[in-house]
Amino acid sequence: MNLRALRIPVLSTASLCAFALVGALFGVSSPAQADDDACTAKSFKLKEVEKVCKDGGRKAAKKMMQAAVKKAKEAGEKMNCKSCHNDIKEKFDLKANAVKDLKPWI
């Protein structure tokens, strides 16, 4: 009778520890989530953009885009953010040509 009463608190302490451990692990493994300037896309067409977004969020993605636009302009192309994005403030939703046109410049 007594034995059984003892076993329950021991078990629940152990599972609390397990939860704390899982929480700590997740906290460490996803620091980018804390950044509210993360990219909105959940799936990417281009690996290069995905990597930049995951590492540095939108700020890094914009930098990369600016570099791509610069390269294209130097090669004589007419290009700006709106050549590929309908919206360049919030969603950055893409035009149909966007992926194909960006590829050569990244």
Q: Which residue ranges make up the site for ligand HEC (CB under 6 A)?
A: 39-41, 44-46, 49-50, 53, 58, 61-62, 65-66, 69, 79, 81, 83-85, 88, 92, 94, 98-99, 101-102
- Widest distance between CA atoms in the chain: 86
**Closer to ligand HEC by Cβ: residue 12 or 37:** 37
Residue whose C-alpha is closest to residue 39's, from 52, 48, 23, 20: 52
Least Å from the CB of residue 35 to ligand HEC: 12
**Closer to ligand HEC by Cβ: residue 11 or 81:** 81
Least Å from the CB of residue 51 to ligand HEC: 10
**Closer to ligand HEC by Cβ: residue 32 or 83:** 83
Beta bridge partners of 94: 85
CA angle 86, 72, 56 (to 5 degrees): 65
Residue 57 · residue 32 · CB < 8 Å: yes
